[in-house]
Amino acid sequence: MESIPTRGGGVISECQSFKTERGHFFVKMNSRSQTRTMFEGERAGLEAILATGTVRCPRPIEIYDHSDGPESIFVMEHLDMIDLDQHAAALGEAVARLHLHNSRLNSREEKTDGRIGGFHHVTLEENGEEEETQRSVSQFGFSTSTCVGYLPQDNTWSDDWVEFFVRQRLKPRVDYIEQEFGDRTLIELWPRLVRHIPRLFRGIDRITPALLHGDLHGANVAETASGPVIYDPACFYGHHELELAARVFVDFNQEFFPAYHTLIPRAEGFEEREKLYKIFFFLNYW
């Protein structure tokens, strides 16, 4: 076994890639007490993204706990990644397809009388064979907790996006900052913001849950010789517009956005909602 150059994996874990007789592997190591929860959420997110077949990400292999201490080790596929450059537009299209995947599942189920959640069998008309396919998701949330950095996200399922975003995304961050820092300005502005939020969604008839990477900024995207890659996810099903606001920290190549909006055009009021969604990422990094 020998060490090989690597990139990716975030900034809070020790990372290394290895060349072995069984293949090339990428390894993340972390000794914080909540690491197992963090890695379990990341693995579930990678599996969910891979299941859509829309955008490439590392294939998760296994999570191990170190026998001599609290350290957890996450082993996944090694990809020869470089900075995003030539495939920025392809990434925009791929992320749009990721966001549209659940909606397309829903439309297919309506045609085949499928039910929501899990998997079901449909008969393929051209050959009469049955194929196992995913079921669509009708709520906002995720099957397990996922983390932005070390910060866990409450992914309990909810029928209402605005309620989910306020109670399970913004409020936990505001409560934490109040407890740790006692910031008076934030405490005073919070109730005013909550009252203001519902009007930003007027005119939107329906928000279909979209599978989100959850922390999609320039440090979590890359490319290989064959196309774009995303990694280090904090997945959940939410409003697709939230994904685009994560770029406040490290922006993508600008070719990403025209390609994305070719498949998912901007809805009325997008610019104001984007400001709201940026607040979530600012709070995360506070």
Task: Note the pLDDT of residue 27.
Answer: 94
125 shares its domain with 256 = yes
End of a domain among 62, 77, 92? 77
265 shares its domain with 175 = yes
End of a domain among 56, 77, 98? 77
69 shares its domain with 86 = no
Q: What's 20's domain CATH number?
A: 3.30.200.20
135 shares its domain with 249 = yes
Per-block mean pLDDT, blocks of 10 residues, the chain (286 long): 64 85 90 90 98 97 82 94 94 97 93 52 42 82 94 96 98 93 90 96 92 93 96 97 83 86 96 95 87
3-state secondary structure of 262: helix
* Nearest residue to 44 (alpha-carbon basis) of 12, 10, 86, 74: 74
Question: Domain range holding 52?
Answer: 2-77
Q: Please count the structural domains in the chain.
A: 2
Task: Note the pLDDT of residue 7.
Answer: 65
101 shares its domain with 213 = yes
For residue 229, the tally of other CB atoms under 10 A from its CB is: 23
Query: Looking up tokens 């929501």, which residue turns up?
Result: 116
Give me the catalytic one of 113, 183, 205, 215.
Answer: 215
216 shares its domain with 115 = yes
End of a domain among 39, 60, 77? 77
126 shares its domain with 204 = yes
Pair 246, 80: CB distance under 8 Å:
no
pTM as predicted: 0.89
Task: Note the pLDDT of residue 110.
Answer: 84
45 shares its domain with 102 = no
Task: Note the pLDDT of residue 119.
Answer: 40
Q: What distances in angstroms separate CA 165 from CA 92, 128, 169, one per listed residue?
A: 24, 43, 5
Q: What's 275's domain CATH number?
A: 3.90.1200.10
* Nearest residue to 138 (alpha-carbon basis) of 115, 119, 122, 155: 115
186 shares its domain with 276 = yes
160 shares its domain with 201 = yes
Pair 217, 246: CB distance under 8 Å:
yes
86 shares its domain with 186 = yes
Pair 239, 272: CB distance under 8 Å:
no
Task: Note the pLDDT of residue 10.
Answer: 62
Q: What is the dihedral of CA 209, 213, 217, 222, to 10 degrees?
A: -130
* Nearest residue to 243 (alpha-carbon basis) of 50, 85, 97, 43: 97
Pair 102, 137: CB distance under 8 Å:
yes
Q: Is 215 a catalytic site residue?
A: yes
Task: Note the pLDDT of residue 103.
Answer: 96
Pair 37, 44: CB distance under 8 Å:
no
65 shares its domain with 173 = no
- Tokens matching residue 262: 């070719």
3-state secondary structure of 268: coil
* Nearest residue to 277 (alpha-carbon basis) of 235, 240, 232: 240
